[in-house]
Amino acid sequence: MSEINPAFVLQSIKNVSFENREVPKLRDEWDVRVHIEQTGICGSDVHYWQRGRIGDFILESPIVLGHESSGTVVEVGSKVKNVRVGDRVAIEPGVPCRHCNFCRSGSYNLCADTVFAATPPWDGTLQKYYIVAGDYCYPLPAHLNAEDGALCEPVAVAVQICKVAELKGGQTVLVLGCGPIGVLCQAVAKAYGASKVIGVDLSKSRCEFAKDFAADGVHLVEKSSNEGVDPVDASRALGEKIVKEFGLGEGADVVLECTGAEPCIQAGIFAARKGGTYVQAGMGKENVVFPITTACIRALNIKGSIRYSIGCYPEAVALIGSGKINPSKLITHRFQFEQAEEAFELVKAGGENTLKVIIQGVK
């Protein structure tokens, strides 16, 4: 009997199932086949499962879910030089066209023809075997495990966000959100020499985790009705309160917004100093009320960040390998492959004590 390839498949919105597929074949001599060992669940996976689209990426046919993965190379194409059979690797899940101006400049995260795992119409990594370009696999140091390898993906996202911010040593950094990407941004900022890193969140447990993980200070947002108060005025008050509480002078040098929540976006603008940098990484509503006059008057550098660009993945592996960042501390729940739907339900529920959920691969 030939070997099968079990996969966790999103058939349609809110409809997932397990399938036994054929073992995938190398597409060309530059590809490798990886036996997937660990996969983290990202919010985008849940978003496709529940809504079937993110922006222009629309689910129109079944796809395998998952894109935060690591594993062992079991087959290599004839022209692959950087990895060999038996190597344990972190997988960068987006392979660009390599030919457009964005790719040629190193900003391949903007390539329109990227084959990105678990982004329609492309299959993801929640299957026993996954095919990917060999040069988008990064060998793991011997002391790192497969969970560390899978979590290179969110660390690379945080590296990109800090890269977009052009973060420098000695700067003060305010991070809105203490979820996985938020706390990893805080950790990367500290690794890059930020003088003060402040995290902000609505969740007490996440704030406590952030303080233990990397942040110099955290602000727990008090839940209040703000009845009769203009929402933008309330956000201004929050931003100014944070600046005063943590001695940020005229405001933070760098603001990293990792929630996508409208009040946090507004508070972040009000908490940035004149000439400071504001990076939008969180995605929420497609349209929000934005304090553009304040942004103009303060001459803020406003940027967006998506995925990762040249050098981010090797940097993520290096930061984890050196011990400067320990992303496995984020893992709150572990599941077997056969429990994948249960794992997704847990992430969707968004519990107070759920931070990072990881699924073991098929043995």
Cα distance between residue 334 and residue 140, in whole Å: 21
Strand 172-176 and strand 217-220: pairing? unpaired
Q: Which residues are CB-contacts of 15 (< 8 A; sequence separation ≥ 6)?
A: none
Query: Bigger pLDDT: 215 or 223?
Result: 215
What's the pLDDT tens digit per position in 262-321?
A: 999 999 999 999 999 999 999 988 899 999 999 999 999 999 999 999 999 999 999 999
User: For the chain, which domains are there?
Assistant: 4-150+326-360 (3.90.180.10), 156-304 (3.40.50.720)
Task: Grade residue 9 by pLDDT with cuts at 50, 70 and 90.
Answer: very high
Q: Which residues of 330-347 are buried (b: 16+ CB within 10 A; e: fewer)?
A: bbebebebeebeebbebb
Mean pLDDT of 73-81: 98
Cα distance between residue 67 and residue 75, in whole Å: 20
Give the per-residue pLDDT at 55.
83
Mean pLDDT of 161-181: 98
pLDDT at 231 over 90: yes
Mean pLDDT of 96-121: 97
Would you give the end-to-end CA distance of the chain in angstroms?
17
Please name every residue paired with 17 in a beta bridge, in sequence order, or none if there are none: 9
Residue 133 tokens read as 């370009």
Quick check: 188 and 205 in contact, CB under 8 A?
A: no
Using alpha carbons, select from 221, 215, 300 the residue that is nearest to residue 255: 300
**pTM, 2 dp:** 0.96
Mean pLDDT of 228-255: 96
Task: Grade residue 1 by pLDDT with cuts at 50, 70 and 90.
Answer: very low
Give the per-residue pLDDT at 2.
61
Q: In what order do the strands lie in the sheet with 252-257?
A: 217-220, 196-201, 172-176, 252-257, 272-280, 301-304
Query: Residues of the chain with pLDDT > 70: what percent?
Result: 99
Amino acid at 16: V
pLDDT at 219 over 70: yes
Query: Bigger pLDDT: 228 or 156?
Result: 156
Q: What number of other Cβ atoms are within 10 A of residue 248's Cβ? A: 19
Collapse the DSSP code of 263 into the 3-class scheme (helix H, G, I; strand E, B; otherwise coil) and give the result.
helix
